Amino acid sequence: MEIDLQTNLYKNFYLDGNNRLPEIIISDKVLDRINHWNSGENMDAYRSREFKSLLGESDLINNARILPGIQSGGEGQNGLLVRGGSYDQNLVLMEGIPLYESSHIGGIASFFIDETIKEASIIKNGFPARYAGRLSSVMDVQLRDGNRQHTERSVSVGMPGAKLYYNGPIAGDRLSCNIAARTSWLDYYVNNFLKKYTRYDDINLGYSDIIGKLSWFPADNQKFTLSFYNGGDRFSLERSDRVDTVGYSFNSFERSGLRWGNTLTSLQYHFNPGERLHLSAKAGLLNYRHRSRSSYAFNTDINGTSNKDELDVLSYADITDIQGGLHADYYLNDYHTIRTGVTFIHHRFNPVVKQSLIILEGESADIIDRDSTIRAGEWGFYVEDQILIFKDLKLYTGLHLSSFNVENKTYRSLQPRLNLLWSPAKTHLISLSYSRMTQNIHLLVNSGLGLPSDLWVPSTANIAPQHANQLSVSYSGKVFSHLYFYAGAYLKNFQNLVEYNTLPDLFYFFINDQTVVPVYNTSRDWERHLLTGTGQSRGLELMIQRKNRRINGWLGVTWSRSRRSFGSINNGLPFPFTHDRTWDVNVGISTQLSERWTLGLNGVYGTGNTFSLATEEYDSFLGIRLLNADGRNNYRLPPFVQLSFNAAYDFSISGLKAGLHFNAYNITNRLNAYYIYIYKNPLNGDSVLRKVSILPFTPSINFTLHF
């Protein structure tokens, strides 16, 4: 093609070939692990087909847990725990839209379907100014544009469920589609194969996802995209227990249910008006729904005297976010790349939690109260500059200004960001960063009876935003061929942390024939049970990874310490954070036995999480005996240990690519503790700790066909 080049010209050339080779990555630069768009760590550098989710699928959230500073695993762990932060302190973006929940129940899988992902990066230090709203980390996930030339299709069927995937052009090479859907039949799987390892009579568990992206290219320098997601979970447990001894009988019935779901739509426009400038506009809508309910009935008979108690704990939350933004990236010269933008989110929250001393039925169980609706507006403006100081010295610097308006009160914050990257040699990188972050929303986790009642609430006239300041230093390098080494350290301080102050062990009162007084009667009672305080987290991180060899593996080790301080808790003395984990170790190895067979083994060790164990009881002014711990989070659960094995066999069926993937989670069948409660024997008065576990040995097998 002859071109008479007089002005700037965009032209795409498509290459054809009749061979398909496995992906080969050739690189000698440690900088390739850095996403130069946002200074985060490219997840592709760590993603491994041998590191699977609980259900045996490649999963983005699970791969992120390989990294030091991110907790590797836990019983029923959802989402990410990063550098002493909680689940809600991670900004997870799908096509630029913040998610309130990114994992299915119990951490069995994330919402992301691996085939649809173009790229993802995880940022835990040196946050660029364009990111705001959370304190601990950013995971930025971009979906693939559909293939504009060829069609890709696959179907996967296995013990956990089924998945469909399509990627290809719709109308010529201007409109394309990338879409995937999956559903589960875990009810059948769990109740027929795993229920004997649990203590429940009936388990109802399932989820579904549909995710996709439409891309339209009206011109070579313009692009419109429409991204969408819809999915949800259902989870319920039923259990009956009976204790019969001489002169004493105790019958209990428990029914717990949990449902949540996300509906997301993102419309984006990208335009390159010239060789130096890129413009984009975004509009999005997110609806998040959460329903949690635990119902209990207790019948006690002591020497012919009967007593019946009931308790219903209901927690509902609806959130709707309408958001938009304008962004500009300007390549000034070889030494400066400037980015700026403005964003807006209109929030509508409707958190409700209530308790009843009778099990509610019918319309009385509908506790949605429109009077509890809280509306808020969140503005953000940022400017940042990527400065090339010298050939091997780069500085990411920026400033984010945010404004949060709620209940006739405005909270403003100024958040500076700095990240200095020095590469003394092409295979070595040293980073020094400082970030100040502000979070205007809070997740309230009920630590008491039943399933977690997670309530997302905004800052209000009585609840100020959270803040965090983090200083971090790290070294990354290739010390030998195909051997990557990382070492880092961080110090983080938190202000205005929120603690949900609920009775620590309501279950104790019922099984030991006590009386419970409801603490939630109106839709805004949750606000009366919040405490604010400070926190500090610090840690050391180490990782060694061997990749692109016949035998690959990794070892990640984190030592950390996370403390909280609240004036009215623990006599004002610092206490360990619930998810404080002194040691966290993640190790894995994989081998390519042949062109068809791949085997992998990975293990996790972690110091047990902390919890408050009652060491005494006393008579209260309510006329009942209450438990008291000698300190907040004064005991730890046993260490978390998990070992998993997987195998993949690739083959062809009538010229079509196919594969069998086997995964065995927790092959040692170690029953790690989900939580612990106290049972007091009414005959001899002895108190006994009882452990509840939910994830035993769990095998799965999946068959995938590409066509």
* Predicted confidence (pLDDT) at residue 507 exceeds the cutoff of 50: no
Predicted confidence band at 17 (pLDDT cuts at 50, 70, 90)? low
Segment 579-583 mean pLDDT: 92
Segment 682-687 mean pLDDT: 63
What pLDDT score does 184 carry?
85
Give the separation between CA 635 and CA 691, rounded to whole angstroms: 14
What pLDDT score does 311 carry?
76
Range in 90-94, 255-259, 521-525 the model is least confident about: 521-525
Segment 375-387 mean pLDDT: 95
Range in 269-278, 563-572, 619-628 the model is least confident about: 619-628
The dotted CATH code for 30-701 is: 2.40.170.20
Segment 367-378 mean pLDDT: 79
Predicted confidence band at 234 (pLDDT cuts at 50, 70, 90)? confident
Are the beta carbons of 387 and 359 closer than 8 angstroms? no
pLDDT per position as a tens digit, 235-247: 777 778 777 777 7
Segment 170-193 mean pLDDT: 83
Are the beta carbons of 232 and 206 closer than 8 angstroms? no
Segment 115-128 mean pLDDT: 89
Predicted confidence band at 166 (pLDDT cuts at 50, 70, 90)? very high
Higher pLDDT, 523 or 243: 243
Q: pTM for the complete prediction?
A: 0.86
What pLDDT score does 185 carry?
81
* Predicted confidence (pLDDT) at residue 454 exceeds the cutoff of 90: no
Segment 316-340 mean pLDDT: 93
Higher pLDDT, 445 or 1: 1
Query: What's at 34, amino acid-wise?
Result: I
Domain range list for the chain:
30-701
Percent of the chain scoring above 90 in pLDDT: 39
Higher pLDDT, 311 or 367: 311
The CA-based angle 361-362-363, given to 5 degrees, is 120
The strand pairing partners of 99, in sequence order, are 92
pLDDT per position as a tens digit, 593-637: 888 898 989 899 999 888 777 666 666 544 455 566 667 788 888
Report which of 157, 258, 283 is spatially closest to residue 207, judged by C-alpha positions.
258
Q: What average pLDDT is seen over the chain?
A: 82
What pLDDT score does 585 carry?
95
Predicted confidence band at 448 (pLDDT cuts at 50, 70, 90)? very low
Residue with tokens 């692990």: 33
pLDDT per position as a tens digit, 649-681: 999 998 889 999 898 888 998 888 877 766 666
Are the beta carbons of 76 and 673 closer than 8 angstroms? no
Predicted confidence band at 103 (pLDDT cuts at 50, 70, 90)? confident
Using only C-alpha atoms, the chain has a radius of gyration, in whole angstroms, of 27
Predicted confidence band at 16 (pLDDT cuts at 50, 70, 90)? low
Are the beta carbons of 165 and 144 closer than 8 angstroms? no
pLDDT per position as a tens digit, 469-491: 999 999 988 887 788 899 999 99
Give the separation between CA 257 and CA 426, rounded to whole angstroms: 54
* Predicted confidence (pLDDT) at residue 21 exceeds the cutoff of 70: no
Is residue 114 classed as helix, strand or coil in its secondary structure?
A: helix
What pLDDT score does 346 carry?
96
Query: What's at 169, amino acid-wise?
Result: P
* Predicted confidence (pLDDT) at residue 314 exceeds the cutoff of 50: yes
The CA-based angle 654-659-663, given to 5 degrees, is 160
Give the separation between CA 88 and CA 291, rounded to whole angstroms: 17
Report which of 533, 585, 535, 584 is spatially closest to residue 560, judged by C-alpha positions.
584
Segment 335-363 mean pLDDT: 84
Segment 417-424 mean pLDDT: 92
Give the separation between CA 411 and CA 22, rounded to whole angstroms: 52
Is residue 685 classed as helix, strand or coil in its secondary structure?
A: coil
What pLDDT score does 449 carry?
41
* Predicted confidence (pLDDT) at residue 136 exceeds the cutoff of 60: yes
Distances (CA, A) of 88 to 4, 453, 488: 55, 14, 24
Question: How many other CB atoms are found less than 10 A from the CB of residue 2?
Answer: 3
